[in-house]
Amino acid sequence: RHVKISDLAAAVKKKEAFVCKDLTKMIQMKMFPQGHINGDQTMFLLDDATYEEFETRRQELERRSQFLRDETREQRQLRETIERGQQYIQAIRKANDDIPGEEISEKLYRLETSVGRIYAQIQKAPHKLPELRKFQEYYLPTTLKLVETYREFDGQPIAGDNIRTAKAEIEASLETIILAFDKLFDSLFAETAMDVATDISVLQTLLAQEGLTQDGLGKD
């Protein structure tokens, strides 16, 4: 359905420009009723459907390239952070799929959910990104290493004392890690919670000054 102009040129031992000119004439003469040559003259496409599919992909790549050129340093940093976070989440999910135990599976599901919430909030509030530095550079990689080690141990045909002990320690540590990640997620709302408290305090003061609170009713 499509072929490189360079391959055609090599086959007929002609220059690519010559082949493009010949193909253009053939298309004009209706020898290839649905034939197309792409914009940079590198591909010959045999039918309209292939051409439209090719053009759709090309336009999407152009938009993606333009986006990458236009995005700011902060936008790029956020995008890369979210993409990296998705990789960690997928890795945790994959490990969970590979490990059959119900108890560890429940912990890994909670871990995935906790990590997902953190990245979702960062996407909504990018200015919080600096608060994720240790989380992404140390806490999360170390956690994933523990999870993958558990998967490796769980796949062993014979589980001796060392494997059983290590698995138990990892399961226990996951509980601590999940609670810590949940606490980190909550800390991302500290600024918002403070703003809410301030707004409530100001509102209550204004209402009291206008005599609109219970304490102010009946006062002149």
Write out pLDDT tens, residues 72-99. Answer: 777 788 888 999 999 999 999 999 999 9
**How far, in Å, CA of 76 to CA of 44, rounded?**
36
Q: What is the pLDDT of residue 118?
A: 93
Q: What is the pLDDT of residue 68?
A: 63
Task: Please tell me the pTM assigned to this model.
Answer: 0.61
Among 92, 90, 111, 215, which residue's Cα sits nearest to residue 173? Answer: 111
Write out pLDDT tens, residues 39-52. Answer: 777 878 777 787 78
What parts of the chain have a pLDDT lower than 50? 217-218
Q: What is the pLDDT of residue 70?
A: 59
**How far, in Å, CA of 154 to CA of 148, rounded?**
10
Q: How many CA atoms lie within 13 A of 150 on its CB side?
A: 28
**How far, in Å, CA of 210 to CA of 2, rounded?**
77
Q: What is the pLDDT of residue 69?
A: 66
Q: What is the pLDDT of residue 71?
A: 63
Cβ atoms < 10 Å from Cβ of 126: 14
Q: What is the pLDDT of residue 192?
A: 67
In total, the chain counts a number of residues equal to: 220
Q: What is the pLDDT of residue 215?
A: 63
**How far, in Å, CA of 144 to CA of 153, rounded?**
14
Among 91, 90, 94, 95, which residue's Cα sits nearest to residue 152? Answer: 95
